[in-house]
């Protein structure tokens, strides 16, 4: 996955000369644009994939935990960034979960089958919510655009007073597969850790989630998820190190579902008591 590149001295000079330093990045989608793009992408997912109905227990579970985490976002932040968080499940065996700009979050049934505790599920949810909260897709889009345009074109656009970002020009490929930087992933892990702990979950669930990703990472059917969630081994070490420094005692991890529901899903989890 390409890492986020910092502005070169020449490009930094361009923003100084053009008077853009005190302004928002003109190549970065705004809050409303992110919300609109997320709705567009979510509609495409619902059109092209089998999205489970609201009555499905997996959907109810995902929304219950997701909404519990979202409720922890400060009111001032929600007012400034009124993202519309939604949680849905796609019938797909691939181990994948993804956040779209502006609020929509989707989990494949394949990844739910790998998560045996609410704490592990909360870890991934908190991570994906943080991508949205901190506008990581918008930052990645702006960085990608500037890399492709080059300094000369950027200077021309800025001198012409162009806002640079055009919502109609955003391709579906960029909406669904624009990779996050290691900095973004680390930030989502750290903030997500804080969110799940504040919500009453055991951060060991996040460590278990990374162990699962490492275990399934070698499968070709999981390449898409691993391409946007790289370096799981080092991220696991970071979470384990943080847990080791904690002085507090965390609650015991909670099994996600009952055996009866697991058997109804036909994938059974015999380790659940």
Return the pLDDT at 148: 73
For residue 222, give every residue at least 6 positions away whose Cβ sits within 8 Å of its Cβ, in sequence order, or none. Answer: 94, 95, 96, 110, 216
Q: Give me the residue spans of the domains in the chain.
A: 9-265
Higher-confidence residue of 196 and 257: namely 196
> Looking at 3-17, 95-109, 112-126, which range is the least confident one?
3-17
Mean pLDDT over each residue of the chain, to the nearest integer: 80
pLDDT in tens, 140-155: 888 888 777 665 554 5
What is the mean pLDDT of the segment spanning 145-168?
Answer: 57
For the segment 47-105, what is each residue's pLDDT rounded down to a tens digit? 999 999 999 999 999 999 999 999 999 999 999 999 999 999 999 999 999 999 999 99
Q: What is the predicted pLDDT for the residue at 168? A: 56
Please tell me the predicted confidence (pLDDT) of residue 20.
40
Residue from 41, 46, 13, 9 nearest 141 by CA: 41
pLDDT of residue 259: 44
pLDDT by residue (tens digit) across 181-213?
889 999 999 999 999 999 999 999 999 999 998
Q: Cα–chain-centroid distance for residue 223?
A: 16
Write down the pLDDT at residue 249: 93
- Give 228-252 pLDDT, tens digit per residue: 555 788 899 999 999 999 989 999 9
pTM: 0.78
- Hey, which residues does 98 pair with through a beta bridge? 106
Q: Band of the pLDDT at 16, cuts 50, 70, 90?
A: very low
Q: How many CA atoms lie within 13 A of 241 on its CB side?
A: 8
In sequence order, the 6+-apart residues with CB closer than 8 A to the CB of 181 are 1, 2, 3, 4, 140, 143
Q: Please state the three-class secondary structure of the chain as a single string.
A: CCCCCCCCHHHHHHHHHCCCCCCCCCCCCCHHHHHHHHHHHHHHHHHHCCECCCCCHHHHHHHHHHHHHHCCCCHHHHHHCCCCCEEEEECCCCCCEEECCCCEEEEEHHHHCCCCEHHHHHHHHHHHHHHHHCCHHHHHHHHHHHHHHHHHHHHHHHHCCCCCCCHHHCCHHHHHHCCCCHHHHHHHHHHHHHHHHHCCCCCHHHHHHHHHHHHHCCCHHHHHHHHHCCCHHHHHHHHHHHHHHCCCCCCCCCECCCHHHHHHHCCCCCCCC
* Amino acid 15: pLDDT: 34
């Amino acid at each position: 996955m390409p890492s986020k590149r910092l502005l070169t001295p020449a490009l930094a000079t361009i923003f100084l000369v053009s008077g853009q330093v005190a302004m928002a990045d003109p190549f970065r989608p705004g809050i409303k644009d992110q919300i609109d793009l997320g709705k567009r992408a979510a509609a495409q997912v619902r059109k092209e994939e089998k999205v489970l109905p609201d009555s499905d227990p997996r959907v109810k579970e995902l929304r219950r935990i997701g909404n519990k985490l979202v409720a922890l976002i400060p009111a001032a932040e929600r007012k400034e960034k009124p993202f519309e968080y939604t949680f849905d499940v796609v019938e797909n065996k691939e181990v994948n979960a993804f956040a779209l700009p502006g609020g929509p979050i989707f989990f494949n049934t394949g990844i739910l089958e790998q998560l045996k505790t609410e704490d592990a599920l909360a870890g991934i949810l908190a991570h994906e919510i943080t991508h949205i909260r901190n506008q990581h897709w918008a930052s990645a889009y702006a960085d990608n655009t500037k890399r492709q345009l080059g300094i000369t074109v950027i200077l021309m656009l800025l001198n012409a007073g162009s806002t640079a970002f055009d919502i109609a020009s955003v391709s579906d490929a960029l909406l669904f597969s624009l990779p996050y930087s290691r900095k973004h992933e680390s930030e989502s892990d750290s903030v997500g850790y804080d969110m799940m702990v504040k919500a009453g979950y055991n951060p060991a669930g996040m460590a278990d989630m990374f162990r699962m990703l490492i275990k399934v990472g070698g499968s070709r059917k999981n390449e898409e998820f691993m391409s946007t969630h790289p370096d799981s081994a080092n991220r696991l070490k970071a979470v384990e190190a943080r847990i080791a420094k904690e002085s507090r005692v965390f609650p015991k991890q909670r099994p996600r579902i009952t055996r009866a529901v697991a058997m109804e899903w036909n994938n059974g989890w015999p380790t659940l008591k």
